[in-house]
Chain A
Amino acid sequence: MELNIHFRKESNLLKVFIEGEIDTFTAPKLRDKLESFDIDPNYIIELDLSKVVYMDSTGLGVIVALYKKVTREQGNLKLVGLSARLIRLFTITGLSELMNIEVEVKVE
């Protein structure tokens, strides 16, 4: 399955919409896209995962790498639109305690 990623800037928010499956095959594409922008402490980076139908641990690795980079450069990262399955994944891995995760699914 394809993975689509697109960006939208809204005042001090950089929204990243991710759609599809994040697995071993598509994770490198996501990593490249997420590495393509500079981190600005005045901006909030918001990853919208509401259209992510599957994510394995490789995908988790890409998000952890982004989190580490953003934290190092004093930026802000927020995850929104997580499905129940993704919430479980972030809870079990202890990442939900660390990251800013908005639980409710957004209505478009």
Chain B
Amino acid sequence: MEQLLIQYKQILSDYISNRKEQNLYIGQNYIRQLIQKNVAPEDVINIHRKAIEEIYTQLPDTLTHAYDFLIEVMVQFGLQFREHQSLLVQQEELRIEMDIAANIQNILLKTEMPELESIDIGMVSEPIRKMNGDYVYFLYDEQNYLSVAVADVVGKGVPAALCMSMVKNGLETMKYANHNPSYVLEVLNNIIEKSVDDSMFVSSFYGRYDIEHGVFTYGSAGHEPALYFSAKNESYYDLNSKGLLLGVMPEVKYPQFTIQFEENDFIMIVTDGVTELKNYDVIESRNLLKKIAFPLRHLSAQKMCEKVYSELQKLQDYNLNDDFTIVILKK
């Protein structure tokens, strides 16, 4: 403290005699050093008082009392300051934990994309924060079925990530890709309904493609309707379905529908991050998506997904406001 007093007194008296901008600047830098050394605000005032007493030896007693008073008052500031410092440390610890959790999530929820000759698969899934609230799962088996699930958890961050792990585990219990979408959604609903709190739910699209017969069967649990493009008719169709969100009620039944896939047809499955664009309502966003994808239809499914993503990003000034997922299956 003695050393600090000598330095401070020097800086202060330099300022009093010169009153230059440069002296103030030195003072500011000095205070920054004190903050780094965790010197409390009340201690700074104490140093100031001692320096003043040494510079002006004839100070009235009342001024000394006033300093005593100020120091007492500043103790409260000091307490706040120390609390703030410890919060910063805690925040840093939490940030590190979040990073680790996000890495674990990324490993656990990594989507494995099958590579098949008979159907072209593309996907882009970009989280808005560290943890992705969207999840895509593919399953392929030798009986020539490919199934795909696209899920979106309401809510963000850790609770959403935990919920997503449940979805993944539920899907993994399926083992084979030949199950009916209505059955898979029913199983997922029962798992989620039992385990999450009242305000949490998941929307999911589930599709199964019978590679040999070119039949696509799908069901939806409260998910944004997927888009089907018929190459023959050169037009899009909404894959509407009225299934309830997963996790709202037990024992829900999910209807399923089929379409016959023809050469060059494709299906676009998206999450609401794709259709809830700023300055566009949902219908406009969907029309925009159709318009963007149409001239890209001759590209590979992966290229199409990437192009759609970059186009929409550009349109939204590289500031999309939700997790963004698009999956394309193309014959």
- Could you list which residues of chain A lie within 8 angstroms of chain B, going by C-beta atoms? 24, 31, 56-58, 60-62, 64-65, 67-69, 85, 88, 91-95, 97-98
Contacts and interface: CB of A to CB of B under 8 A. Distances in A.
Interface of B: 152, 154-156, 197-201, 203, 221-225, 242-245, 248-249, 272, 276, 281-282
A93 B203 CA distance: 8
Nearest to A27: B199
A92 B199 contact: no
Nearest to A93: B222
A69 B198 contact: yes
A93 B198 contact: no
27 contacts: A31-B199, A57-B152, A57-B154, A57-B203, A57-B272, A61-B154, A61-B155, A61-B200, A64-B198, A64-B245, A64-B248, A65-B197, A65-B198, A68-B248, A85-B281, A85-B282, A88-B282, A91-B242, A92-B222, A92-B223, A93-B203, A93-B245, A94-B244, A94-B248, A95-B222, A95-B244, A97-B244
A85 B283 CA distance: 9
A33 to B, nearest CB: 14
B39 to A, nearest CB: 38
B200 A94 contact: no
B182 to A, nearest CB: 13
A98 B282 contact: no
B305 to A, nearest CB: 22
A52 B249 CA distance: 26
A64 B244 contact: no
A70 B82 CA distance: 46
A84 B244 CA distance: 19
Contact of A60 (B154, B197, B282): B154
A61 B201 contact: yes
B198 A94 contact: no
Contacts of B248: 64, 67-68, 94-95, 98
A92 B244 contact: no
B199 A62 contact: yes
Nearest to A97: B242
